[in-house]
Structure 1
Amino acid sequence: MTAVQVLFFLLFPALAIRMGERFRVAKILGPVTLCYAAGFVCANLPGVTLSSAASMQVSEIAVPLAIPLLLFSANVRVWPKLARPLLISFSLACVAAILAAGSVSWCFRGETDEWWKIAGMLVGVYVGGTANMAAIGRVLEAHSETFILLNTADLAAGGVYLLFLLTFAQRLLLRFMRPFTASAHPALFEHPGETMGSWTRHHLRDMGWGFGLAVAIVAVGVGGTQLVLEKLEAGPALLIITTLGIAVSLSKRVHALVGTYELGEYVLLIFCVAMGSLADLRMLSGGSAMLVLFVVAVMGLAIVLHVAFSALLRIDVDSTLVCSTATIYGPALIGPVTAALRNRALVGPGLTLGLAGLALGNYLGLATAWGLRWLAGG
């Protein structure tokens, strides 16, 4: 049964991509949502029992592999040159996530000993993505049950917010925020990658090289950590992997590899299916209600603060919503949200900012967690 489960994790993303190409509803939802939903449905089917250990192992392998693959195509040199409203709104979203997680976790510090770890994990997921939350949880040695419950609650809250983004978010915020104008964005940079559905045989060689390089970076991160610390520590290893991924992306030869971003997305989709399979609603009972409230409060406050800050600084609605999507969901849902906004000009910048969040999430999350522990005198 475990072999079938792992095989499902590996192959369903291909079906999700194909469905997105053929069916309008699937295209709107996107492969990430479909993969999470598939794992979620399997985990909650009556009479079906999945191996949580297998799901965790797949996710733990996928996280370090996906990070460098996604970063190879990131044009780091472009980040400081993005249009000023986008950079400001993205920075505000990061600050809002830190403030929300810090203030809410401080209120919950008497409820759980892992309050500061949870704050760091939530900053990671609401600046970068679920992969960052998993990485930070490993670094801080959070209980696996805590991560599973946080992931389940985040899926539920994130689904509600995504529905809001895809429906009436733009119309609602236009009542008190400026509309998007092209003149405020003099330099919009397109993401160098291609669409996930465009894989051809021509991509295979470059994707093979990129995958090999990602494996090498992971090996350096893991091996270097074991060599220096004489044991495997997730924290140093993942920080090394993230830093090396950013550094290697500066190479023109690596940056020119075709299909590495798409391959990284595929690995991330495998991660999404595995994470969805850990979201067993039967676990959301009793004491877990506190963690659900924790997640909803942090996410809701982060969104409200980000929108409020952007409105005060007169950032336009579309830039605000795209930056919110880039930080809370990562690059994968930029396409569906910009399509709902009817603003394809922000696709490239949104993807770039999503990758920036992926790179920053680990650093900001760990800094938040350790800072809160220091403030508490721990």
Structure 2
Amino acid sequence: MTTLISAEDTWALWTILSLSVAISIYLEQKYVWANKITGCILATIFTLVLANLNIIPTESPVYDAVWSYVVPLAVPLLLFNANVKKILKESGRMLAIYLLSSAGTLLGGFVAYFSLKNAIPKLNDIIPMFVGTYTGGAVNFVAMSEQYAVPGKTVSAAIVADNLLMALYVFVLISLPSMAIIKKLYKQPYEDALLAQSEEDRDKNKTMAAKFWGAKSISLKDIAFAVGIAFTIVTLSTKLSGVISGFFSGKDAFSQFMGGFFGNKYLLITTITMMIASFFPKQMSSVKGSQEIGTFLIYLFFAVIGAPASILLIIKESPLLLVLALIMVAVNMIISLIFGKIFKFSIEEIIIASNANIGGPTTAAAMAVSKGWTELIIPGLLIGTLGYVIGNYLGIFVGMVLH
């Protein structure tokens, strides 16, 4: 079908993608309603509307470039602070409830699969995406969708269902501390402390996104090192992936497992970045701007996701995918609340841990900021960052079990 902008009009399509991201970020940081929707889903909606109005094409080499080059670069940039030693030292308590919560995600994946395997085609390829993203964040969703070659239209429907469910879940998490049964069952030290805080000390004029992504000091050297290191890690991981996959080229089960697991490019990217961040924490943490650049690249991915999406397809497929996401998130929350109660975690710690699983480090940290739980901001960011690492491991593990 003919579109206003052709698939070969490279500059125009890159302009559409970058402007969609820029406008989404602006709206997310400026308006409360947009912050609740999230910039990611706004970027997806913009290109989805443009594609369904036949303004931009549903397929283009530009979109392929985002999948092949932009996304792999985003992964290491978002993992520059994945220092395992620091995570264990500063967030040991939060790490415990986070890992218990991630077990809920894993269990939820299997529950969703066996509940819907006869209703959703190729569900064994789709579940790893949701396990990955509900352990870490969008970067894991991207990695798993590419790993299992999930069709773009299915990914589009899944991402809409995921973001819609995430938006609803944020409202649930925010309202938990005010529920009578939660007040009765769980301690709330951070909420109790806020009750004694005067109203004028609270800043309610900024959205979560604006608070989290405030201006920082970033130099030209920071940008150069961040991009240079990311390119190096991706190149090394890609080359190493080919070597490992070639070494285990046999058709027996052992060779396929070893080649598929240890030869996975995204797994290598996350592992290598994590090792560098852990062994050279001072040097890596001194490189500013990696989170900002990496997040911008991930937003480009969300813009691309909207392009191949058919409204009719989403109406047709999203209800079942929404049920899938609902099952996984519900199991995660139930497991988090049960183990949180058993091991005497506060409701605030449980909320941030579950948020770090379902939404990733940025939403976890932003929620802690917006709620005034300042002591939980860094732990939420750190455990969520760890989720970027283990999300790919769990996603691939689930994929191998279901295949």
Task: Please give the TM-score of this superposition, normalised by the length of structure 1.
Answer: 0.83
| Greater Cα offset, 307-316 or 88-97 | 307-316
For 2:186, which of 177, 188, 204 is the aligned residue?
Answer: 177
| Residue in structure 2 matched with residue 51 of structure 1 by the alignment | 57
| Greater Cα offset, 342-351 or 249-258 | 249-258
For 1:136, which of 144, 148, 162 is the aligned residue?
Answer: 144
| Residue in structure 1 matched with residue 336 of structure 2 by the alignment | 306
Q: How many angstroms does 1:70 deviate by?
A: 1.3
Deviation digits for residues 29-49 of structure 1, max 9, x if unmatched? Answer: 18x912421331441366244
For 1:219, which of 235, 238, 242 is the aligned residue?
Answer: 235
Deviation digits for residues 82-141 of structure 1, max 9, x if unmatched? Answer: 344412210111100000111220222333452222222211010011221221122223
Q: How many angstroms does 1:8 deviate by?
A: 3.0
* Structure 1 residues 277 and 327: alpha-carbon distance in aligned structure 2, compared to 1, 3 A threshold: farther
* Structure 1 residues 156 and 73: alpha-carbon distance in aligned structure 2, compared to 1, 3 A threshold: same
* Structure 1 residues 237 and 83: alpha-carbon distance in aligned structure 2, compared to 1, 3 A threshold: closer
- Structure with higher Rg: it is 2
Deviation digits for residues 306-363 of structure 1, max 9, x if unmatched? Answer: 2232223221111111111111111221343113422122111111111100111000
Q: Is structure 2 residue 367 aligned with structure 1 residue 337?
A: yes
* Structure 1 residues 212 and 24: alpha-carbon distance in aligned structure 2, compared to 1, 3 A threshold: same
Secondary structure, aligned partner of 2:149: coil
Deviation digits for residues 212-233 of structure 1, max 9, x if unmatched? Answer: 1101111122233335546998
* Structure 1 residues 164 and 107: alpha-carbon distance in aligned structure 2, compared to 1, 3 A threshold: closer
Hey, what's the Cα distance between the residues in 2 that align with 1:145 and 1:286?
A: 12
Task: Please give the TM-score of this superposition, normalised by the length of structure 2.
Answer: 0.78
Q: Is structure 2 residue 212 aligned with structure 1 residue 203?
A: no
Identity of aligned residues (%): 22
* Structure 1 residues 29 and 285: alpha-carbon distance in aligned structure 2, compared to 1, 3 A threshold: closer
| Residue in structure 2 matched with residue 240 of structure 1 by the alignment | 268
Asked if structure 1 preserves the Cα contact closer than 8 Å seen for 2:17 and 2:47, the reply is no
| Residue in structure 1 matched with residue 391 of structure 2 by the alignment | 361
Q: Is structure 2 residue 45 aligned with structure 1 residue 37?
A: no
Q: Is structure 2 residue 99 aligned with structure 1 residue 91?
A: yes
Hey, what's the Cα distance between the residues in 1 that align with 2:141 and 2:55?
A: 25
Paired AA for residue 7 in structure 1: T
Hey, what's the Cα distance between the residues in 1 that align with 2:40 and 2:316?
A: 28
Aligned length: 358
Paired AA for residue 292 in structure 1: L
| Greater Cα offset, 254-263 or 276-285 | 276-285
Asked if structure 1 preserves the Cα contact closer than 8 Å seen for 2:223 and 2:290, the reply is yes
The gaps in structure 1 that reach 5 residues or longer are 183-193, 374-378
Secondary structure, aligned partner of 1:314: coil
Secondary structure, aligned partner of 2:264: helix
For 2:286, which of 239, 252, 256 is the aligned residue?
Answer: 256
| Residue in structure 1 matched with residue 326 of structure 2 by the alignment | 296
Hey, what's the Cα distance between the residues in 2 that align with 1:122 and 1:264?
A: 21
